[in-house]
Chain A
Amino acid sequence: MKTLQFSSYPISVPQHGGQLRVAAMKKSLSDAGIEAASIAVFDAVHYRDCLPTDFPIPDGNFAYYIKDHPWDLMLSAVINNDPDRRAKFVESLTEQNADVYIFEQPWLWPLVREVVKTNPELKRPVVFSSQNIEFDLLREILRKASGGILTDHDNWLLEYTYQLEKELCEKADLVVACTKSDLDFFSAQFKVKRGAVFPNGINPPTVVSDGVAEQYAKRYAGQKLAGFVGSAHPPNAEGFEKLCGENLGYLPPGDRIAVIGGVCDLIYNRSRENLFVALNDSRCDYLGRVSQEDLDAVLARCDVIMLPILTGGGSNLKTAEALVSGKTILSTSLAFRGYDKFRNFPTVNIADDPREWRAKLRDLLAADRLPALSAEQKEQTKSLLWENILRGYPKSVMEVIRGA
């Protein structure tokens, strides 16, 4: 049996949440003895590493499409409207000769649909592996960008995205969602034949070498440390800024917040205009993008892990990482969506109000001792690992193949 995944980013070196999910799903299939292939179509500016089967699009080719359309929506058109690329894509599908097509996000569905029209021998059963309700997410992005007033063009984009998700949900033999609420939405809005929920998971923490561990132990010697990890997704920075506030003086001298990941650039650059910039810099350590080993070392050193998520759909991988770490967590309710069974763990603290958030953060860092997970609770967190979450996924895919 062979599967072929389509994605809008490469997964050869997975870093952000979407890449990690697609890579984990591919691995779970191959671990189950299924031959798993993938094709990514993406702009080569944002991603350098890719597989030989991928289609990196040089930046110049996007110029026309980006002018009026968000690039995700145009991925199919970039390939379909270029005869050479289309021919190569058809050749690739033919070579792969998969038994099922798995669409990670809906963007490449129009391309495959058009290819199958002219090459019906390439028709296969379909799995729609959703990562978000794209129409909802796009609406949020467009509203924020336009100050709440949507243009006719914005509405056209939303309608297009909605119809795309509708079509794929109804064509797919299986719709996979990250959360139950996402699947409930699809089931209520569209005629979904069969659905399954496979939440986001994480890989177990890497083994941190003594040298790296000691490096961070020295860096934060004698300090209480809170950690915040996020990608350069503007809502990540906005959540941090709104909850932690413009003035970090509620933390005593010596307490620090380690900011890690792409979100660091956003927070650091935006904070330069802040009246309290020097004060906040004394309370923050902007680590930026670090290796996985360094990330795991910092998180291991943290006293508290923060999840200041205020917007967005799907479930949050960072929540899973925080739970598996066993560390004390300060989180919003939204960040725990999809992880409700863990909300009552002694290490979990929920705060949605900014003042409450800051008071809790200070109190948690000031505490001499913080609650720990019991052995049973630690075992429960293992259910968040990809290997456990995706245990049923290969079987679901095989059922689609067999049912075809």
Chain B
Amino acid sequence: MIYMDMTSCLDYIGRNPLGIVRVEMNFVQWALRNKKASEITFCYYDRGLGRISYLAFSDAQGVLNQIGRPAGAVAAAAVQPSSPSVQEPGVPSHSAFRALAKRGYCGLRATFRNCPRMQRVLFRAECFFKRLRGESVNSAPMPLEPPQAESLADPFVVNWTTDDIFVTVGLIWDYLPLEKIYARKAEQGFKVVGMIYDLVPYKVPEYCLGVPPSFFKSVVDLIWCADEILTISKLTKQDVEEFVSKYQLPHPTIVDVSYLGMDVGVLQDGYVPDRAELDVSMLRPGKFVLQVGTMEPRKNHALTLTAWRLMAKEGFPELMPLVVVGAQAWGVGDVLEMAKRDRCLSPKYFVHSNRVSDQTLLWLYKNCFMTVYPSFYEGWGLPISESLVHGKFCLTGDNGALVEAGAGYAEHLSPFDVMGWARRLKELMQHPEEVESKNARIRAEYKGLSWAASSAAFFGLVDQLQEVRS
């Protein structure tokens, strides 16, 4: 049996999903369509109860349906519990919505388990809300004494065997008690498959602010637990192996690459971005350069803005505007402010938007001349794949994963070479036929990886682990 962890999906009910959450969503979706209930069980880490809890198939689909929807819509569409046929014996099935509410309550019960006074308060609150809902109040006696020592035993119990595989690909540093998984695995012998997206905080810590403190603990503990680690690029695989070797960690049985798929939307006929969202009145189709990605030092907007300022000040006649789409994260305030104040550059040659709709982004890809992405370091480089799948040539940085993502269709320059970038951009803008030729080749040859293909490959790699052991 595969036990697929979908805690991150549950955490994002009613919220816009991050990239990693989308990965988990897509894998779960594929499994729902292509796996049987006898092959896969969906589970999540219940923080309040301190244990793994389980979802039925229909509940899992319900969770996926609620991700990205407003919170009110979530409450209205609460999933009904289904049959317990795929449930762990003795473990109640929860609707996803109720599970969320119960987690908070159980968290309080667990926190104050040694405080009789709080236990009584919480018990009375539970009875009050039950009466409000018209339910019968539990006739068990009110807790008066602190729980006995036995009831404080670790609730993290799983009844998995050597034939079972626990699969986790989400934001594990936020929730997963890997040390408990490790201990249970030592007792029960099940296998573990995990995903490491990148080791950017290890490779280039100077570009990382606000990394969750638990990130490295979860990476290391995952390496200890996992029989198989999957990475999203050969570069990340290399980084993992370097990390394992440098810090003398145990090498998982399998370290392999599982490329991620992409969402490819469809631009509505006649769509034009709303002016309030992005003023495109100054942009001519095929006559602007697009840069997509969160604005932070690692993405190197400083290089593109400096190159554009250089070209603008030189009075380069073929200069096209640079359109930057990306939320401003940290460390770019000064560069952005300078670009906006530079009258040679703004507003004629520089347009910025923190966030645009999917349709507007599609419009930008469709109508741009080319894209740029001078990142210093990436675990993959999704904006490059997005550019290529929309048929647009990308000038990008030259670190390993960007070259991999470029797949031979992008061009790579050092992210430190501002003058080199300015020179090459001028050449390309002076010779648009060269760029159009590249775009045509990309349109004819480049095939992005669909989520279906990515998920099938992922589960294929998971299945190979069963063959290794059996």
- Which residue of the partner chain A has the closest CB to B179? A253
Interface flags for A236-252 (1: CB within 8 Å of B; 0: not) read 00000000010101101
Q: Count the A-B residue pairs with Cβ separation under 8 angstroms: how many?
A: 49
Complex Cα distance A222/B205, Å? 35
- Which residue of the partner chain A has the closest CB to B213? A278
Q: List 23 A-B contacts (CB under 8 A).
A: A222-B183, A247-B220, A247-B247, A249-B216, A249-B220, A249-B224, A249-B247, A249-B249, A250-B249, A252-B182, A253-B178, A253-B182, A253-B183, A253-B225, A254-B179, A275-B201, A278-B216, A278-B217, A279-B217, A282-B179, A282-B221, A355-B248, A362-B248
Measured between C-beta atoms, what is the minimum distance from A134 to chain B in Å? 39
- Which residue of the partner chain B has the closest CB to A358? B248
Measured between C-beta atoms, what is the minimum distance from A278 to chain B in Å? 4
Using known A-B contacts A275-B202, A275-B205, determine if residue A250 contacts B214 with beta carbons closer than 8 Å: no
Contact of A277 among B183, B202, B213 (CB under 8 A): B213
Complex Cα distance A247/B217, Å? 10
Contact of A250 among B179, B217, B248 (CB under 8 A): B248
Contacts of A277 in B (CB 8 A): 213
Contact B217 A282 (CB under 8 A): yes
Complex Cα distance A250/B225, Å? 13
Interface flags for A353-366 (1: CB within 8 Å of B; 0: not) read 00100110010000
Contact of A253 among B202, B215, B216, B224 (CB under 8 A): B224
Chain B interface size, as a band, is 20 to 34
Measured between C-beta atoms, what is the minimum distance from B226 to chain A in Å? 12
Chain A interface size, as a band, is 10 to 19
Contacts of B248 in A (CB 8 A): 250, 355, 358-359, 362
Measured between C-beta atoms, what is the minimum distance from B174 to chain A in Å? 13
Contact B216 A279 (CB under 8 A): yes
Complex Cα distance A249/B216, Å? 9
Complex Cα distance A310/B21, Å? 47
Measured between C-beta atoms, what is the minimum distance from B324 to chain A in Å? 30
- Which residue of the partner chain A has the closest CB to B220? A249
Contacts of A252 in B (CB 8 A): 182, 224, 250
Contacts of B223 in A (CB 8 A): 249
Query: DSSP majority for the B interface?
Result: helix
Residues on B close to A: CB < 8 A? 178-179, 182-183, 201-202, 205, 213-217, 220-221, 223-225, 247-250
Measured between C-beta atoms, what is the minimum distance from A176 to chain B in Å? 43
Contact A254 B182 (CB under 8 A): yes
Contacts of B201 in A (CB 8 A): 275
Q: Say whether A276 faces chain B, with CB atoms less than 8 Å apart.
A: yes
Complex Cα distance A358/B248, Å? 8
Contacts of A359 in B (CB 8 A): 248
**Closest 5 pairs between A and B when the two form their complex, measured CB to CB:** A253-B179, A249-B220, A279-B217, A250-B248, A278-B213
Complex Cα distance A252/B205, Å? 24
Interface flags for A273-309 (1: CB within 8 Å of B; 0: not) read 0011111001000000000000000000000000000
Complex Cα distance A247/B246, Å? 10
- Which residue of the partner chain A has the closest CB to B182? A253
Measured between C-beta atoms, what is the minimum distance from A241 to chain B in Å? 14
Contact B216 A275 (CB under 8 A): yes
Contacts of B225 in A (CB 8 A): 253
Given contacts A222-B183, A250-B248, A252-B224, 10 further A-B contacts (CB under 8 A): A249-B224, A249-B247, A249-B249, A253-B221, A253-B224, A254-B182, A278-B213, A279-B216, A282-B179, A358-B248
Complex Cα distance A9/B220, Å? 45
Interface flags for A249-277 (1: CB within 8 Å of B; 0: not) read 11011100000000000000000000111
Measured between C-beta atoms, what is the minimum distance from A306 to chain B in Å? 16
Contacts of A355 in B (CB 8 A): 248
Contacts of A362 in B (CB 8 A): 248
Measured between C-beta atoms, what is the minimum distance from A268 to chain B in Å? 15
Measured between C-beta atoms, what is the minimum distance from B201 to chain A in Å? 7
Complex Cα distance A270/B220, Å? 21
Contact B182 A276 (CB under 8 A): no
Complex Cα distance A233/B179, Å? 33
Measured between C-beta atoms, what is the minimum distance from B218 to chain A in Å? 9
Contacts of A279 in B (CB 8 A): 216-217, 220
Complex Cα distance A337/B250, Å? 33
- Which residue of the partner chain B has the closest CB to A354? B248
- Which residue of the partner chain A has the closest CB to B225? A253
Measured between C-beta atoms, what is the minimum distance from A271 to chain B in Å? 12
Measured between C-beta atoms, what is the minimum distance from A225 to chain B in Å? 15
Which residue, of B178, B217, B249, has the highest number of chain A Cβ atoms within 10 A?
A: B217
- Which residue of the partner chain A has the closest CB to B205? A275
Measured between C-beta atoms, what is the minimum distance from A256 to chain B in Å? 11
- Which residue of the partner chain B has the closest CB to A359? B248
Complex Cα distance A250/B243, Å? 11
Measured between C-beta atoms, what is the minimum distance from A344 to chain B in Å? 27
Contact of A254 among B183, B214, B249, B250 (CB under 8 A): B183
Q: List A residues 67-83 near B (Cβ within 8 Å).
A: none
Using known A-B contacts A252-B224, A358-B248, determine if residue A278 contacts B214 with beta carbons closer than 8 Å: yes
- Which residue of the partner chain A has the closest CB to B249? A249
Contacts of B183 in A (CB 8 A): 222, 253-254
- Which residue of the partner chain A has the closest CB to B202? A275
Contacts of A275 in B (CB 8 A): 201-202, 205, 216
Complex Cα distance A248/B202, Å? 15
- Which residue of the partner chain B has the closest CB to A247? B247
Contacts of A247 in B (CB 8 A): 216, 220, 247
Contact A276 B179 (CB under 8 A): no
Complex Cα distance A176/B202, Å? 52
Contact B247 A245 (CB under 8 A): yes
Complex Cα distance A252/B220, Å? 9
Contacts of A249 in B (CB 8 A): 216, 220, 223-224, 247, 249
Complex Cα distance A278/B212, Å? 9
Complex Cα distance A98/B202, Å? 65
Q: List A residues 319-365 near B (Cβ within 8 Å).
A: 355, 358-359, 362
Measured between C-beta atoms, what is the minimum distance from B162 to chain A in Å? 19
- Which residue of the partner chain B has the closest CB to A253? B179
Complex Cα distance A222/B187, Å? 12
Contacts of A222 in B (CB 8 A): 183
- Which residue of the partner chain A has the closest CB to B208? A275
Q: List A residues 193-240 near B (Cβ within 8 Å).
A: 222
Q: List A residues 120-144 near B (Cβ within 8 Å).
A: none
Complex Cα distance A253/B225, Å? 9
Measured between C-beta atoms, what is the minimum distance from B376 to chain A in Å? 17
Contacts of B178 in A (CB 8 A): 253
- Which residue of the partner chain A has the closest CB to B181? A253
- Which residue of the partner chain B has the closest CB to A222? B183
